[in-house]
Amino acid sequence: MSFLELEDVQTYYGESHVLQGVTLDVEEQEIVALIGRNGVGKTTTLRSILQLTPPREGTIRYKGEEIGGKDTHEVSNDGIGWVPEERRMFGYLTVEENIRVAVKPDDDFEAQREYVYSLFPALDEFSEKEARNLSGGQQQMLAIARGMVGQNELLLVDEPSEGLAPMIVDQVVDALETASEDTTMVLVEQNFPLAMELADRFYLIDHGTVVESGSTEGVTADDERIRRYLSA
Amino acid sequence: MPIELATEVPLVIETLERLFQPSTIARIIVEGLGKAAVYFVLAVGLTLVFGLMGVLNFTHGAMAMLGAYIGGLVMVLSVSDGTDALVRIALFMVVLAVVFALLTGFGSAFEYSLIRPIYDRTPMYQILLTFGVALILEEVTRIVVLSQGIQPEPPWSGAMGTAPAVFTERYDILGAPIRGLYAFEIVLGIVAVVGVWLFLNRTLYGLYIRAGSEDPEMVEALGIDVRQAFTIVFGLGTGLAGIGGVLLMWDPLWGPSALLAIDVLLYAFVVVIIGGLGSFKGTVVAAILVGIADSFTTWLFATGIVTFTGLPELTIFGLLVIMLIIRPQGLYGVEEVGGH
């Protein structure tokens, strides 16, 4: 039994058949990268796991339990965190309030806050600042921190390096590596070298289905099986 | 017709002289703040519901109408000529709590049973549904009150007559005769502003609501049951509309009537749009602006300077039009709010 298992997941947006039978599995403490061109279904795979866009067919098991059909907040409360594309901060809330929203009501907020501030000291410095006034890199830190609180054991991370300067990307990589010490991670990332650097294994998605998979060890963008699907 | 400067200029000068007298300023400010307090209570529920849920709730005025009638009913049944002023005020406070509880429950049930099934449809469905329910509530109210021998319009004088003398009498403030009710409304308005602010800013649920106003899907993905929050907020918004209706019950310019269903809705929308849809701060500021504008134009009419009876309404809706032209998102609104 894997930590997370997707089996023949079929997801639609209206009549548009986006995921056409995605099957993959993730082991505990692994980082698994989903790679592929724009619009092939990577983000939809994450949204399907969270039941934000519930699949019409197929099964999704998390720690052995079928989570298909649950509400998103129930899936989240099972321990699945989300670091969405474009970060989606609550811009008019402070950094601390953004973290407060993510901490489960029964959890110790003080302890959770200290935990994320110890991982990301820069956030402590800006704790009273509204999130919309943070830089892109700071917002990404906050998005990762927000995904990590709430006792999450699985983190779904979508395009963490998008729109960030190279120097800031290095900080984000450090943050993700820190996060991965405590959580299992599914990473969607357009930056191929970055995805290979961070992940243990990869799944290459094309037209809503997995076309290649394997260890990231030694894989480069020049690899023929990768180049065929990633080139425009 | 040519303007006769010989008569117009002295009139303007005289008006300005009267306007800047302390008694006039005191009257406009106190009455304006009294009106602002009521407008705030009437509008804040509407803005909370739109901010979190993106639902334009056209039943809001009808809920205020129900609040005014329920409040009036309880007061008429409980109060006699000999009832002391303090007892009347205490009863009024009980009525506020009862109406708030009743309408919060009613609003929650309404959201759960009728609005929730159509969230996935276009906003037009929510507008048509709430507008239709508002019409039904208004007509049913007309039938019920008529069956009890009460005319649905003009306002129910029996209920208005339960106000204690301390609120109907006028008191001298800086030489201006000001009705006691306005001071009471100001106090209740301050309590309402502080109460709603504390709820939004000092409670966990308030934090969820503020976050949900920006991105309800993200809030749901963080483990919060947003649908449940929708039900609670819609209920609270309806309860606040009911409280607003109770405040109107004793107001000599309003009073319980079937007309409240539309009139209140219009005023609430004006305040919400001027302040910015979904903005608490905007609602407070806009309520004060509209209240003062209303008070000023009422003074112009009352003193005979202007004889056009519709001046207060014209001014308030003029403010709305100006705001829509120069700043469509309102004073404190963002360009896109609402979850749907």
Q: Is residue B70 part of a domain?
A: yes
Contacts of B226 in chain A (CB under 8 A): 73
Residue A121: pLDDT band by 50, 70, 90 thresholds? confident
pLDDT of A97 higher than 80:
yes
pLDDT of residue A231: 67
pLDDT of residue B210: 93
CA distance A107 to B264: 43
pLDDT of residue B15: 81
Q: Closest approach of chain B CAs to the CA of A75, in angstroms?
A: 7
Domain count of chain B?
Answer: 1
pLDDT of residue B335: 59
Give the mean model confidence (pLDDT) for residues A53-69. 96
pLDDT digit string, tens, across residues A186-213: 999 988 999 999 999 999 999 999 999 9
Q: Domains for chain A: give ranges and CATH numbers.
A: 4-230 (3.40.50.300)
Please give the interface size between A and B, counted as residue pairs whose CB atoms are below 8 Å apart. 59
DSSP A131: G
Contact A100 B204 (CB under 8 A): yes
Q: Closest approach of chain B CAs to the CA of A21, in angstroms?
A: 24
Map tokens 């005289």 to a residue.
B14
Choose, out of A96, A101, A108, A154, the residue to mutate when testing the contact with B (most B CBs < 10 Å).
Answer: A101
Name the residue of chain A whose CA is nearest to B208's CA.
Answer: A101
- Concatenated DSSP letters of A154-215: EEEEE-TTTT--HHHHHHHHHHHHHHHTTSEEEEE-S-HHHHHHH-SEEEEEETTEEEEEEE
Please give the span between the terminal C-alpha atoms of chain A, in angstroms, as a whole number: 36
Residues of chain B with pLDDT under 70: 1-7, 335-340
CA distance A47 to A61: 14
Query: Which contiguous run of DSSP H or E holds residue B275?
Result: helix B260-275
pLDDT of residue B18: 82
Q: Using a CB–CB cutoff of 8 Å, tell me whether A116 touches chain B.
A: no
The sign one gets for the Cα dihedral B45, B50, B53, B55 is: positive
Contact A93 B226 (CB under 8 A): no
Contact A73 B207 (CB under 8 A): no
Percent of chain A residues past pLDDT 90, beyond the cut: 68
Contact A131, A90 (CB under 8 A): yes
DSSP B113: I
Name the residue of chain A whose CA is nearest to B216's CA.
Answer: A90
ipTM of the complex: 0.93
Q: Using a CB–CB cutoff of 8 Å, tell me whether A93 touches chain B.
A: yes
Q: Residue A104 has which token pair?
A: 């489960």
pLDDT of residue B334: 72
pLDDT of residue B271: 96
pLDDT of residue B59: 97
| Distances, alpha carbon A101 to alpha carbons A44, A104, A125, B203, B204, in Å | 24, 8, 19, 11, 8
Q: Is residue B39 part of a domain?
A: yes
B161: CB partners within 8 A, 6+ apart: none
Instruction: Please return the burial class of B71, using the count of CB atoms within 10 Å of its CB with bins 0-12, 13-18 and 19+.
Output: buried
| Distances, alpha carbon B64 to alpha carbons A15, B92, B244, B258, B265, in Å | 43, 16, 6, 10, 9
pLDDT digit string, tens, across residues A1-59: 899 999 999 999 999 999 999 999 999 999 999 999 999 999 999 999 999 999 999 99
3 state DSSP class of A78: coil
What type of residue sits at position A74? E
Q: Is residue B13 part of a domain?
A: no
Q: Is residue B270 part of a domain?
A: no
Q: Which of A72, A93, A105 sits opposite B210 (nearest CB)?
A: A93
Q: Using a CB–CB cutoff of 8 Å, tell me whether A100 touches chain B.
A: yes
CA distance B218 to B211: 9
Q: Is residue B178 part of a domain?
A: yes
Give the domain range for residue B196. Answer: 33-258
Q: Is residue B63 part of a domain?
A: yes
Residues 133..162 of A with a Cβ closer than 8 Å to B: which? 146, 150
Q: Closest approach of chain A CAs to the CA of B278, in angstroms?
A: 13
Residue B270: count other Cβ atoms within 10 Å of its Cβ: 22
Q: Using a CB–CB cutoff of 8 Å, tell me whether A109 touches chain B.
A: no
CA distance A38 to B120: 27
Q: Closest approach of chain B CAs to the CA of A24, in angstroms?
A: 22
pLDDT digit string, tens, across residues B220-252: 999 999 999 999 999 999 999 999 999 999 999
Choose, out of A50, A88, A90, the residue to mutate when testing the contact with B (most B CBs < 10 Å).
Answer: A90
The sign one gets for the Cα dihedral A3, A8, A13, A18 is: positive
CA distance A166 to A231: 22
Q: Which of A77, A90, A98 sits opposite B223 (nearest CB)?
A: A77
b/e map B76-100, b = 16+ CB within 10 Å? beebeeeeeeeebeebbeebbebbb
Higher per-residue confidence, A142 vs A218: A142
